[in-house]
């Protein structure tokens, strides 16, 4: 199954003031997710918090999932990133999308209602069958990891 560019993903507003995900430019891979807040939220230095987006989605196939990534500007300029690295929205999840943010900076950070806080990308998912084996094929790298290929 291949999801076409113009194929629809169903979106449900779980909160009246929610802003639907949208791309900032024609070339954007991700759809911006917005903070669905009644008032500003302060994330203190070193703190984590779950921020509601006010929306839920329905993917029409288990061959795809939604992935929530940090916004590069928030991470690079302010130290605000996702506490779980990348959020995964499974094809059978129907609840509100929350973004788990953490503040890695030395300063508190203020999120205003309707601020863009993350980006949603819909991507294919491969669901392989796992085969238990006695050995794996050898490679030149083999088990060497964590810096074994150089700086």
Nearest to 62 by CA among 1, 5, 130, 8: 1
Per-residue pLDDT tens for 55-112?
A: 999 998 889 999 999 999 999 999 999 999 999 999 999 999 999 999 999 999 999 9
5 — pLDDT class (breaks 50, 70, 90): low
Per-residue pLDDT tens for 15-27?
A: 999 999 999 999 9
Percent of the chain with pLDDT over 90: 81
Nearest to 104 by CA among 145, 74, 64: 74
- Residue 121, Cβ density class (10 Å: 0-12 exposed, 13-18 middle, ≥19 buried): middle
Q: Which two tokens stand for residue 51?
A: 């921020």
pTM listed for this prediction: 0.88
Nearest to 96 by CA among 40, 19, 15: 15
């Amino acid at each position: 199954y291949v999801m076409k560019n113009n194929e629809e993903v169903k979106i449900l507003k779980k909160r009246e003031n929610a802003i639907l995900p949208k791309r900032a430019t024609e070339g954007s891979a991700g759809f911006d997710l917005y903070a669905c807040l009644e008032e500003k939220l302060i994330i203190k230095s070193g703190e984590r918090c779950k921020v509601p987006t006010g929306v839920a989605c329905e993917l029409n196939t288990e061959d795809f999932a939604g992935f929530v990534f940090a916004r590069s500007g928030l991470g690079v300029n302010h130290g605000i990133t996702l506490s779980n690295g990348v959020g995964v929205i499974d094809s059978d999840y129907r609840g509100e999308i929350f973004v788990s943010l953490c503040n890695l900076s030395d300063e508190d950070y203020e999120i205003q209602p309707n601020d863009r806080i993350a980006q949603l990308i819909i991507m294919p998912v491969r669901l392989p069958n796992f085969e238990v084996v006695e050995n794996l094929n050898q490679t030149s790298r083999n088990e060497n990891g964590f810096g074994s290929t150089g700086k």
